[in-house]
Structure formats: structure tokens, C-alpha cells
Amino acid sequence: QVQLVESGGGLVEAGGSLRLSCTASGVTFSNYAIGWFRQAQGGEREFVSTIVWNTGGTYIGDAVAGRFTMSKDSSKYTVYLQMNNLRPEDTAVYYCARSAVATERESQYHYWGQGTQVTVSS
């Protein structure tokens, strides 16, 4: 079965750090981009970042630039979202997804994980 599984979410105090993981099974990352999106309670799904699997090149959204970074481990078919200096407004369910191109447009992503909750306390 095609699966994208996120992990690493949890509760953290403002100013703290957290690293999220997205691991693929039954689906390839090769020749695709893998993005992170987030959705706060009652809010819209928002682009966070994306990585081009083959090159490792990343694009970080303006809202989290300077605080979040993205990386990959090719041997594990895993991508990571390193979140530093977390703020309460970062509280959301975080999803990883696969797209044919590196884009912030949600409609271009056709495989999605189940999400992992990140809660930042003040």
C-alpha cells in the first residue's frame, strides 16, 4: 500500500525545537518533490516547505524562513522538517505530501500522509 507516515510531533514550549519525519512506503520519492503543509484548528492548509528529492534542493515558505529547514535521508526514504524557535502560532497538524514539481500549491500534491500534531505552548 502507498503510505506516507509522519512522526515527531508533540508538545513543546515556545522557543524550543522539534524535528518531524516523513517516511515513504509503497511510493517513490525519486523524481518528485516532497512538501510539508500545516493546518491549524479551524484554519486552511498552509504551505511550509518542499524538497526536490533528487537534488536535495529546498524551498522554505516565508512564514517559517529562518526557523525551519528541510533535509532528507536517501537510504531511509525519509525527509525531515527541523523546526527551531517554535512559536505558538506554529501549532497545527503537519502533513507531508508528494508532488511532481516543487510548488506551494496544495492541488499539485497527490499523495498525503495522515498528519502529526505539533503544539507549541507559550
Per-residue pLDDT of 25-47, as tens digits, reads 887 888 999 999 999 999 999 99
Q: How many CB atoms lie within 10 A of CB 76?
A: 11
Per-residue pLDDT of 59-71, as tens digits, reads 999 999 999 999 9
The rounded distance, in Å, linking the Cα atoms of 83 and 114 is 19
The rounded distance, in Å, linking the Cα atoms of 111 and 90 is 23
The rounded distance, in Å, linking the Cα atoms of 65 and 42 is 23
CB 17 within 8 A of CB 83: yes
